[in-house]
């Protein structure tokens, strides 16, 4: 083993496993999601229908590949497919979390350089 590979092994960071439970912990609850869609005039999202269609899609994929792949290969493939769905959902939760943080920062006067209402007037004039 060379010195470079030893160095690379020692400095690898451990990434948190992205699981369905982790995604659920970061998404807005159903009440908040409904409130957001109503506030911004968006159509509510039918989560049950999305879940049902995703399950159907994965089941159809498994049926189509069942004769072409052995059991282990099919299991590995389906783990990757499900992992990509979960990873995509996690990315969406990160996007949502970033937007929530930005919105909070914009409402805090000390964090927002563009807010004028909390500033005093120009020097030498009435405030």
Q: What percent of the chain has pLDDT over 90?
A: 39
Q: What pLDDT is recorded for position 55?
A: 94
pLDDT band for 114, please (50, 70, 90 cuts). low
**Nearest alpha-carbon partner for 44 in 54, 55, 30, 26:** 30
Average pLDDT, the chain: 83
Using CA atoms, how far apart are residues 79 and 68, in angstroms rounded to an integer?
Answer: 17
Q: Which residues contact residue 47 at a Cβ distance below 8 angstroms, ignoring those fewer than 6 apart? A: 30
pLDDT band for 102, please (50, 70, 90 cuts). confident
Tokens of 68: 């072409």
| Angle made by CA atoms 66, 70, 76, in degrees to the nearest 5 | 90
pLDDT band for 40, please (50, 70, 90 cuts). confident
Tokens of 96: 């949502």
Whether 65 shows a pLDDT value over 90: the answer reads yes
Whether 127 shows a pLDDT value over 60: the answer reads no
Using CA atoms, how far apart are residues 93 and 23, in angstroms rounded to an integer?
Answer: 7
Rg (CA), the chain: 24
DSSP 108: S
For residues 15-28, average pLDDT: 88
Task: Provide the whole-model pTM.
Answer: 0.66
Whether 111 shows a pLDDT value over 70: the answer reads no
For residues 3-14, average pLDDT: 65
Enumerate long-range contacts of 49-55, CB under 8 Å, 24 or more apart: 54/85
């Amino acid at each position: 083993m060379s010195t470079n590979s030893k160095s690379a092994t020692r400095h690898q960071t451990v990434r948190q496993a992205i699981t369905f439970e982790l995604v659920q912990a970061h998404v807005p609850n159903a009440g908040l999601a409904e409130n957001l869609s109503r506030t911004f005039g968006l159509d509510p999202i039918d989560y049950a229908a999305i879940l049902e269609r995703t399950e159907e899609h994965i089941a159809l994929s498994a049926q189509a590949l069942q004769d072409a792949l052995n059991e282990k290969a099919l299991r590995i493939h389906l783990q990757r497919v499900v992992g990509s769905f979960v990873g995509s959902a996690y990315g969406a939760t990160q996007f949502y979390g970033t937007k929530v943080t930005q919105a909070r920062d914009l409402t805090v006067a000390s964090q927002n350089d563009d807010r004028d209402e909390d500033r005093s007037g120009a020097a030498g004039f009435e405030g």
